[in-house]
């Protein structure tokens, strides 16, 4: 085993070299960066470096060579013992290489363009890559790079798998134990031979047979030179997982185990093989003492939690424990090996419970169980909110305006977006209220109430990013109140005012007694049910509106739809008159039933869908590669106003000869008319109290849930919350609105989260092939809301012209746009979509990793059932059922805490309710 090799001395320094592989290494002192010119000799695997200027033939190579520092004469060789394939040296000391006085003794070429110098431990290992150039050493300079290849190296960190939370960790090991492929005391010394033995073990095992699989091709795929000629290529493993530890001097690798992963198209299922080597093997840098090899093979189309990388992460997590590896070395049989694996899984599961508990313990400080004392401490929540927000009040006006991180452009685009997002729903719901109340609450009053309430909230609120609006549920309430007044012959203005006053009274009580603490009982899943319910109401409002248009113009049309249109466009001359007459005669020819005005219905549908299409296309335009990034961002932020203005011009100017449905406008005498609250009897006032209580439930839930969604952790807001103070402020604002007969307002979804999104800086990240967006920071300011609501007030000057140019179908398209953008990021909607996807398309979200797939679908089905019940009450044709649907929202709390844990384990429910 010990044969002598001549190593030429260069001032007492030596260079060691290893044959048998395209890779060899040079070990030296950390301060040395110079290497001698090396000539190459032919070996069974290609050319390998000898000493500087040396050209003698090499004797047969030993089994293993461990380089050491020595000070012997040059005719003595270092102790020799190395693995047969000998990719790298195993370092146990330093060898110094100094070439200052080394003379070239031949025409040998310098075959290396650069040095891959990577510090992997305190012992500074550096290595060369031999590119195996064909031809004699005296080749011309033109052929120097003939065999050069490029090697792309990619490194990324993988988190240790959490055996307590990630369900696949347990199942990966169970699957391996069911078809265990274990090789004990493998005698092969080269990596290639070890892998061939593992693949052979697969082929001979009847439980792991793959009839259509060529294991020789798999062997080639494991290395970087797959599918290319051997000559001129680097023979390295393509994809591995290894344990590392950060140190002061670099990264320390765990060198006793190696996890090799590979994706093979011809495989039918996943395979894992573990081989324990008889002796430690030196397979190169970072793999100097390998005793365990884990080989993971998997087909390409797998669920994101079942890929080769994920399976490899499971076993790599287990082997990262040195105590566990020592136990495996002591096992004698496969059964003992399996028992050690099971025991390690148990230890990892128990160990992971402790940090999880610590993490939850931190969270529980904010979510500790509620006690009666928390509600009897009157005004504490309000005072805490003011103390939290008042120190940063001035920053709400200066952030983004003064200082380095200016965001004036983002403020302008957000202000424009918010202006249209507030104005257009005010017109839509004002028009609806005008129809329901027969002019008592019209568009003008709705816009004015929005302006006053929005300005007050923007100035004095604790969370100015929340947007106040009159909403669809409030329009339903107003419609029900009008019906009650008609049935019992009550004065609408007085009854409306008393209900609003009682509502404000209860909201003040809620804020003083810290009732917003109850919102801790609303889990994420409950909030998303309510959020999706609101989105559905927007869709239904749009559908109802367009159905009404079709009933009026398509099925029960009249000739008024095509009346004297030449008069409507007097400057177009005789050609237009001819076209109009042709259109009328053609319509009369084709429709003998008198169904005229169908073009109005069709155009209305086109305007609605066009507004939705253009708005959503521009909203997603920031993800496209076109134009400059800043231009894409501006177009995305202004998607709503651009789409509304575009199709308003299309409907009111380009097709102005077609009669379109527009909102009513009645110029009222005054906006400040006090309601005659003294005109109602005591009985009517007390009945108003009951309706006011139900309304306060709606306000309480909507205000707090929207504020919670706005302050969600993923939005990364830093200035704090103010639930109690904001609820009190909403109560005071609606007191004034009620007295003057203006429509009520509260926090609006999805406008508030969209406001946050418009002010956010967003990055796209990729995880397991899935692209997702994450918010980096948000500009928390009051200026956008202030300016938007001020512009809403100025819009009163635009009534009736040009605001009446906005056709109703465009407003319906606005509702659809709001609904579509609001479901972006809604976990309930994403899980419903999973039912229509194949498993390979599942995103690697936290609940996919932590919850079994069947449990996910059970939970989704139960949420959909709750959503249907909520829709049944909230959209019922019976007026009084609409009044009690806030109680249905509150009823979801005991369902979540008492009923669902009996169907699905609590740990899975908590995982799906978690933010990450």
Q: Is the peptide bond before 802 cis (omega within 30 degrees of 0)?
A: yes
Structure tokens given for 363: 């969270």
Give residue 747's pLDDT: 93
- The answer to whether residue 115 scores a pLDDT higher than 70 is no
The C-alpha atoms of residue 554 and residue 603 are separated, in whole angstroms, by 11
The model's pLDDT over 179-228, given as tens digits with 9 standing for 90+, comes to 888 899 889 888 989 998 888 888 777 777 777 777 778 888 888 876 66
- Secondary structure class of 613 (helix, strand, coil): helix
**Apex CA 152: angle with CA 148 and CA 153, to 5°?**
130
- The answer to whether residue 87 scores a pLDDT higher than 60 is no
Give residue 85's pLDDT: 35
DSSP 562: G
Average model confidence (pLDDT) across the chain: 76
The model's pLDDT over 352-373, given as tens digits with 9 standing for 90+, comes to 654 433 343 333 334 577 777 8
The model's pLDDT over 803-840, given as tens digits with 9 standing for 90+, comes to 888 888 999 999 999 889 888 878 888 888 888 888 77
Distances (CA, A) of 728 to 386, 412, 712, 722, 786: 12, 30, 21, 10, 20
The C-alpha atoms of residue 97 and residue 16 are separated, in whole angstroms, by 10
Place of tokens 């309480």: 700
- Secondary structure class of 262 (helix, strand, coil): strand
Conformation bin of residue 498: beta by default, left when phi > 0, alpha when psi is -120 to 50: alpha
The model's pLDDT over 548-589, given as tens digits with 9 standing for 90+, comes to 888 888 887 554 444 433 343 333 333 333 333 333 333 333
The torsion angles phi and psi of 494, rounded to 5 degrees, stand at -70, -45
The C-alpha atoms of residue 898 and residue 556 are separated, in whole angstroms, by 52
The model's pLDDT over 486-519, given as tens digits with 9 standing for 90+, comes to 888 899 999 999 999 999 999 999 999 999 988 8
**Long-range contacts made by residues 146-153, C-beta under 8 angstroms, separation at least 24?**
146/232, 147/231, 147/232, 148/113, 148/232, 149/232, 149/233, 149/234, 151/224, 151/234, 151/236
The model's pLDDT over 861-905, given as tens digits with 9 standing for 90+, comes to 999 999 999 888 888 877 677 778 788 888 888 898 889 999 998
Rounded to 10°, the helix 853-874/524-550 angle is: 50
The C-alpha atoms of residue 31 and residue 94 are separated, in whole angstroms, by 11
- The answer to whether residue 55 scores a pLDDT higher than 50 is no
DSSP 403: S
Count the residues in the chain.
Answer: 916
Give residue 637's pLDDT: 84
Lowest mean pLDDT among 295-299, 546-550, 589-593, 757-761: 589-593
- The answer to whether residue 101 scores a pLDDT higher than 50 is no
698 and 473 Cβ atoms separated by less than 8 Å? yes
Rounded to 10°, the helix 723-739/380-389 angle is: 100
Between strands 271-281 and 182-186, the pairing is: parallel
729 and 465 Cβ atoms separated by less than 8 Å? no
- The string of DSSP codes covering 570-608 is TTSHHHHHHHHHHHHHHHHHH-TT----HHHHHHHHHHH
């Amino acid at each position: 085993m010990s044969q002598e090799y001549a190593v030429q001395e260069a001032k007492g320094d030596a260079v060691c070299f290893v044959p048998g592989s395209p890779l060899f290494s040079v070990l030296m002192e950390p301060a040395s960066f110079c290497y001698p010119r090396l000539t190459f000799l032919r070996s069974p695997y290609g050319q390998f470096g000898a000493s500087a200027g040396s050209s003698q033939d090499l004797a047969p190579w030993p089994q293993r060579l461990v380089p050491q520092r020595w000070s012997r004469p040059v005719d003595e060789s270092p102790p020799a013992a190395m693995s047969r394939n000998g990719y790298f040296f195993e370092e146990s000391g330093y060898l110094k290489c100094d070439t200052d006085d080394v003379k070239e003794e031949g025409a040998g070429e310098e075959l290396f363009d650069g040095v891959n110098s990577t510090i992997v431990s305190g012992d500074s290992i550096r290595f060369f890559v031999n590119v195996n150039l064909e031809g004699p050493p005296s080749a011309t300079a033109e052929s120097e790079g003939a065999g050069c290849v490029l090697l792309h190296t990619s490194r990324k960190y993988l988190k240790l798998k959490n055996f307590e939370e990630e369900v696949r960790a347990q199942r990966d090991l169970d699957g391996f134990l069911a078809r265990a492929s274990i090789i004990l005391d493998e005698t092969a010394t080269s990596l290639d031979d070890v892998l061939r033995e593992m693949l052979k073990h697969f082929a001979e095992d009847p439980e792991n047979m793959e009839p259509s699989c060529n294991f020789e091709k798999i062997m080639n795929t494991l290395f970087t030179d797959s599918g290319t000629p051997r000559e001129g290529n680097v023979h390295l493993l393509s994809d591995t997982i290894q344990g590392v530890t950060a140190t002061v001097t670099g990264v320390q690798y765990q060198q006793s185990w190696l996890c090799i992963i590979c994706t093979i198209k011809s495989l039918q299922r996943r395979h894992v093989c573990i081989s324990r080597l008889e002796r430690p093997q030196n397979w190169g840098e970072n793999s100097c003492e390998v005793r365990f090899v884990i080989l993971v093979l998997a087909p390409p189309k797998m669920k994101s939690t079942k890929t080769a990388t994920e399976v490899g992460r499971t076993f790599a997590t287990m082997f990262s424990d040195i105590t566990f590896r020592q136990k495996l070395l002591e096992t004698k049989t496969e059964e003992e090996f399996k028992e050690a694996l099971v025991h390690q899984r148990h230890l990892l599961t128990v160990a992971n419970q402790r940090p999880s508990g610590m993490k939850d313990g931190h969270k529980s400080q904010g979510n500790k169980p509620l006690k009666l004392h928390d509600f009897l401490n009157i005004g504490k929540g309000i005072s805490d909110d003011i103390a939290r927000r008042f120190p940063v009040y001035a920053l709400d006006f200066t952030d983004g305006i003064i200082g380095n991180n200016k965001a004036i452009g983002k403020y302008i685009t957000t202000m424009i977006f918010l202006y249209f997002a507030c104005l257009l729903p005010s017109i839509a719901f004002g028009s609806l209220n005008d129809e329901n109340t027969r002019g008592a609450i019209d568009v003008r009053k709705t816009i004015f109430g929005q302006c006053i309430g929005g300005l007050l909230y923007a100035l004095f609120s604790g969370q100015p990013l929340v947007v106040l609006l009159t909403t669809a549920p409030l329009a339903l309430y107003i419609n029900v109140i009008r019906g009650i007044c008609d049935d019992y012959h009550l004065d609408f203005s007085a009854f409306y005012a008393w209900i609003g006053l009682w509502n404000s009274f209860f909201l003040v009580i809620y804020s003083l007694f810290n009732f917003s603490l109850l919102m801790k009982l609303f889990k994420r899943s409950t909030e998303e049910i309510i959020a999706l319910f609101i989105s559905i109401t927007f869709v239904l409002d749009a559908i109802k509106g367009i159905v009404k248009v079709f009933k009026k113009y398509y099925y029960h049309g009249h000739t008024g739809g095509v009346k004297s249109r030449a008069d409507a466009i007097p400057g177009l001359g005789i050609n237009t008159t001819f076209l109009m007459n042709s259109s009328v005669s053609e319509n009369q020819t084709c429709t003998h039933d008198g169904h005229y005005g169908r073009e109005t219905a069709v155009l209305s549908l086109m305007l609605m869908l066009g507004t939705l299409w253009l708005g959503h296309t521009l909203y997603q335009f920031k993800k496209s590669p076109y134009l400059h990034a800043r231009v894409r961002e501006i177009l995305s932020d202004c998607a709503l106003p651009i789409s509304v203005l575009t199709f308003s011009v299309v409907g009111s100017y380009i097709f102005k000869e077609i009669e379109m449905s527009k909102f009513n406008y009645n110029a009222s005498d005054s906006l400040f008319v006090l309601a005659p609250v003294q005109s109602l009897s005591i009985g009517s006032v007390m009945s108003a109290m009951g309706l006011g209580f139900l309304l306060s439930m709606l306000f309480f839930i909507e205000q707090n849930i929207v504020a919670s969604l706005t302050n969600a952790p993923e939005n990364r807001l830093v200035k704090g919350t103010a639930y109690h103070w904001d609820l009190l402020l909403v109560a005071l604002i609606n007191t004034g609105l009620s007295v003057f007969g203006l429509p009520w307002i509260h926090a609006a979804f999805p406008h508030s989260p969209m406001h946050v999104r418009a002010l956010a800086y967003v990055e796209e990240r990729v995880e397991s092939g899935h692209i997702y967006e994450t918010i980096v920071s948000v500009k928390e300011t009051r200026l956008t809301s202030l300016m938007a609501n001020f512009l809403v007030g100025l819009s009163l000057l635009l009534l009736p012209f040009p605001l009446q140019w906005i056709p109703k179908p465009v407003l319906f398209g606005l509702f659809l746009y709001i609904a579509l953008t609001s479901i972006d990021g809604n976990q309930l909607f994403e899980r419903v979509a999973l039912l229509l996807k194949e498993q390979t398309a599942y995103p690697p979200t936290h609940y996919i990793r932590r919850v079994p797939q069947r449990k996910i679908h059970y939970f989704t089905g139960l949420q959909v059932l709750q959503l249907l019940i909520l829709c049944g009450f909230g959209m019922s044709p019976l007026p009084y059922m609409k009044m009690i649907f806030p109680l249905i929202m509150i009823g979801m709390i005991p369902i979540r805490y008492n009923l669902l844990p009996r169907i699905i384990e609590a740990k899975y429910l908590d995982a799906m309710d978690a933010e990450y």
